[in-house]
Structure 1
């Protein structure tokens, strides 16, 4: 890198885009089978009228909201509304459950109340080790609800508690979240095109 490149503020931005592209290429090469299985899980749930329940923490909580909205409102096409809920959005419920049962229970409590066999719990967790998403996965499995997870690094404990865990090949939280969102958008697009 030349001296002028070291001081050019655009260089790190371009490097970030190249890193994202490389992570996307690795994901496309390594995760084709898992992504196809995830599409089938979502497609089957929506086709039989089940509800998609999304959860995650921090940026993944924002992704949960984002994706539930894509299914209920629309992504690219006008079509019927698909049942989807972000378990991250009700501040009264989250604070009551957190206060009365502990933050680890905020998603599990909602899964217990809302999830039914035929639904699908979709968890976003870059570490795969957050206690509240692990307990949500356990609660879903106890209710006969399938669990689809998107993670990174080594998948964490979530890898063995989900029916399918897509582990993005990166240790970077931001790249994992970007790829999770891309995968989820592609799945939503495919659902809209086929149902």
Structure 2
């Protein structure tokens, strides 16, 4: 049996691609949008309002990561912050999806936990996750700020995001890698202002 040559990029080629997306992000992302996201989250959490976070797949893991950093700690010793991951309770996710629809699994939890003055942060590399969009629509009806963290252009989430932070790429893994940088910065800034 003859081994086939790999068509996958080399490690250095892959890292160069990641660096290129990070570089494009520094060139296209208006820092005022990130500052608006930091301010919205800081204001809500400082007032005892919840920050709801949701996403699917890898973005669900990122939603858990963000809330873990804020409930626990990022870099400083401080009080816990009211950050709630809508992607991590398997009983809620499976019961609601089985009885109703996965498209409304986050909007139902937003009804339960959301309130005026709170914030919802939704992660979607395509910007087209129906359940995140539905959650944003409910959040807006409750008087919450909606922050979309997406890939290039924001997809359908752009229309329902008060603040859109989009990474200039269409590659899911590369978008997610930049998302980690962005939400680590968000967590660091929230903590610095509230610690």
Asked if Structure 1 and Structure 2 have the same fold, meaning a TM-score greater than 0.5 normalized by the shorter chain, the answer is yes
State how far apart, in whole Å, the 2-side matches of 1:41 and 1:14 are.
38
State how far apart, in whole Å, the 1-side matches of 2:130 and 2:189 are.
32
State how far apart, in whole Å, the 2-side matches of 1:43 and 1:92 are.
30
Equivalent residue number for residue 22 of structure 1: 20
Q: Which runs of 5+ in 1 are unaligned?
A: 1-5
1:162 aligns with 2:161: yes
Q: Which runs of 5+ in 2 are unaligned?
A: none
Shift of 1:29: 2.1
TM-score (norm 2): 0.91
Alignment length (residue pairs): 188
User: Residue 148 of structure 2 contacts residue 154 of structure 2 at CA under 8 Å; is this kept in 1?
Assistant: no
Q: Secondary structure at the match of 1:166?
A: strand
CA RMSD of aligned residues (A): 1.6
Structure 1, residues 20-66: CA drift from partner, whole Å, max 9, x if none?
A: 12211211221122222212222222222211110000000000001
Matches within 5 A, 1:43-192: 43-192=42-191
Shift of 1:113: 0.9
State how far apart, in whole Å, the 2-side matches of 1:17 and 1:139 are.
39
TM-score (norm 1): 0.91
Shift of 1:81: 0.6
State how far apart, in whole Å, the 2-side matches of 1:27 and 1:46 are.
27
State how far apart, in whole Å, the 2-side matches of 1:193 and 1:107 are.
29
